[in-house]
Chains A and B, each alone.
Chain A
Amino acid sequence: MKPKHIQISGLVLTAVYGLFVLWIYWAAPKTVSDVSVKARETIEQAANEAAAATGTYEVDQEKFTQGLNAFRAENYVLAREMFSQADPKAIDPKTQYYIAYSFYRQGWGRFSNDDELFKQGLEQVNKVIALDREFRADDENLKLKHPVELRNELEEGLRITADDFNPLKLTRERQ
């Protein structure tokens, strides 16, 4: 083999091995078997990044349907998990809106709301607004079609005002 070919082989080997070392320290697997799990996760993540960059990214429809079914069955924790798996890059406004809505519905209470869930919902709906300001939900079951409406509802829920003590508020309905 010519020295030139050996130098090229050495360069390639050093680059590949060096990247592997960097990846190991970045992924930090805990066991030997964890290495393959982390590698699969990294490949999936890289594939999603590449798909997003090239405009070929698609939401996993099967997972989305499962999430939607869980959402309609009021199993919001499972719904969020399914929606997150359907949209791992978190760039699809529709899926992200369902996640925000699930925080609202789970946190809503006739007497008092769950502030923690409402805060997470508020963060989530702000993400949806950042992704698509013109987004409008096409689901008839969602009474709040626009992210700004949902944001207003969440903000109202977090704010303590004299109006909160109005007994007539007990008759209000969840959106």
Chain B
Amino acid sequence: MSDIAKNTESDEDQPAIEGELVPERAPDDLEGFLEGEDLPEPSELRDAARDLKALPSADAAGNQRSWLVYVLLPAVFLTSALLGGLRIASETGEFIFHRPALICLVFATLMLVLFFRTGLISLGGWFSESLSTLQNAANAAVMTALFAATVQMFNSLIPEQGLAFWIVSFCFLWTLGVSYFSVADATRLARSTVALFVAAFLTKYFLLANLTSDASGNWLQRLWSDPTREAVTYLLDLPRYSSATGYIQFFAAALFLLGLFLVPSRTDADRG
């Protein structure tokens, strides 16, 4: 260690330039420095350079963050959007791509407003005139993917038709409305969103799915074998889907929540 460093007793006493501490040189030290007494050997410099390369650089961390925000997140959200409307027909096992109802778009918009309002996602941190056009465009793409995934999440969790559709939609509207006026911080919103989605998932894929009668046989046979289920299915107008639908929707919801957990509050720290 050089004499200059030894003389530095406390970093707090040093002036700060651009966040770095620069030791003040005493006139005696400066003379010695100019005479070349304390200059390190070339081999020492090489070792120091090697050590510096081995350290994780800020660039690498920034790159990792960019990969996460601009590649991984859209992929996660779009996969969630792809799977959110997928149902498997009970009898034939065919794919049914259920398009979202208009109310899903309204709920998704409300949800995004809540994200911005509570600061879970900072609007100014994602879109700003201080950012480059490219970064603003890339951020817009990520937000579009998030919106699509949110729409499809509501599409996945709200029953497709009938009385159940209206009841669950009303519950969603009520919860989102209450959250809008009462939830002020991001952590509470995140918890409330997870709880809301879990409750809706359990309602649709456990409660209602178990009340739906099998698709096998004609209606008379079904009524004879299980009159309650057949009656509930008829009264609530429940569609008959394969149990694989529940597994797919669980995966889609898990992906969406994972994506939401990974979304940074702002991106203006990593400018391209």
Q: Do A and B associate with each other?
A: yes
Give the segment of A22-30, A54-62, A100-108, A113-121 that binds chain B.
Answer: A22-30
Is B157 on the interface with A (CB-CB < 8 A)?
no
**Bound-state Cα–Cα, A8 to B132, Å:** 12
Q: Is the interface of B mostly helix, strand, loop or mixed?
A: helix
**Bound-state Cα–Cα, A25 to B83, Å:** 10
**Bound-state Cα–Cα, A34 to B74, Å:** 26
Determine whether the beta carbon of B82 is less than 8 Å from that of A7: no
**Bound-state Cα–Cα, A1 to B71, Å:** 13
Interface 1/0 per residue, A126-142 and B, CB below 8 Å: 00000000000000000
Determine whether the beta carbon of A25 is less than 8 Å from that of B134: no
Determine whether the beta carbon of A8 is less than 8 Å from that of B134: yes
Determine whether the beta carbon of B95 is less than 8 Å from that of A31: yes
A4 and B272 contact, Cβ closer than 8 Å, known pairs A14-B74, A18-B144: yes
**Bound-state Cα–Cα, A67 to B69, Å:** 56
Is A152 on the interface with B (CB-CB < 8 A)?
no
Is A77 on the interface with B (CB-CB < 8 A)?
no
Q: Which of A80-116 touch B at CB < 8 Å? A: none
Nearest-Cβ distance from residue B203 to partner chain A, whole angstroms: 25
Chain B, Cβ-Cβ closest to A32: B95
Is A15 on the interface with B (CB-CB < 8 A)?
yes
Q: Which of B97, B132, B270, B271 contacts A24, CB < 8 Å?
A: B97
Q: Which of A1-18 touch B at CB < 8 Å? A: 1-4, 6-11, 13-15, 17-18
A3 and B74 contact, Cβ closer than 8 Å, known pairs A11-B137, A14-B144, A25-B99: no
Q: Which of B139-168 touch A at CB < 8 Å? A: 141-142, 144-145, 148
- How many residues belonging to B are interface residues under a CB distance threshold of 8 Å? 32
Is B67 on the interface with A (CB-CB < 8 A)?
yes
Chain A, Cβ-Cβ closest to B74: A14
**Bound-state Cα–Cα, A18 to B78, Å:** 7
Q: Is the interface of A mostly helix, strand, loop or mixed?
A: helix
Is B259 on the interface with A (CB-CB < 8 A)?
no
**Bound-state Cα–Cα, A1 to B67, Å:** 10
Count of CB-CB pairs between chains A and B under 8 Å: 78
Determine whether the beta carbon of B66 is less than 8 Å from that of A13: no
Is A21 on the interface with B (CB-CB < 8 A)?
yes
Determine whether the beta carbon of A6 is less than 8 Å from that of B95: no
Q: Which of B35-91 touch A at CB < 8 Å? A: 62-63, 66-67, 69-71, 74-75, 78, 81-82, 85
Determine whether the beta carbon of B94 is less than 8 Å from that of A6: no
**Bound-state Cα–Cα, A21 to B81, Å:** 8
Determine whether the beta carbon of B145 is less than 8 Å from that of A18: yes
A13 and B75 contact, Cβ closer than 8 Å, known pairs A7-B70, A28-B97: yes
Determine whether the beta carbon of B66 is less than 8 Å from that of A6: yes
**Bound-state Cα–Cα, A9 to B72, Å:** 11
Q: Which of B97, B135, B141 contacts A14, CB < 8 Å?
A: B141
Is B138 on the interface with A (CB-CB < 8 A)?
yes
Nearest-Cβ distance from residue B156 to partner chain A, whole angstroms: 13
Nearest-Cβ distance from residue A66 to partner chain B, whole angstroms: 33
**Bound-state Cα–Cα, A6 to B139, Å:** 12
Q: A6 — which chain B residues lie within 8 A by C-beta?
A: 63, 66-67, 70-71, 272
Q: Which of B71, B95, B270 contacts A29, CB < 8 Å?
A: B95
Which among A7, A11, A20, A25 has the highest number of chain B CB atoms within 10 Å? A7
Q: A4 — which chain B residues lie within 8 A by C-beta?
A: 132, 134, 272
Determine whether the beta carbon of A2 is less than 8 Å from that of B71: no
Determine whether the beta carbon of A7 is less than 8 Å from that of B135: yes
Can you list 19 residue pairs at the A/B interface with Cβ under 8 Å? A3-B270, A3-B272, A6-B67, A6-B272, A7-B70, A9-B70, A9-B71, A10-B141, A11-B134, A11-B137, A11-B141, A13-B71, A14-B142, A15-B141, A17-B78, A18-B78, A24-B97, A29-B95, A30-B92
**Chain A residues near B (Cβ < 8 Å):** 1-4, 6-11, 13-15, 17-18, 20-21, 24-25, 28-31, 34
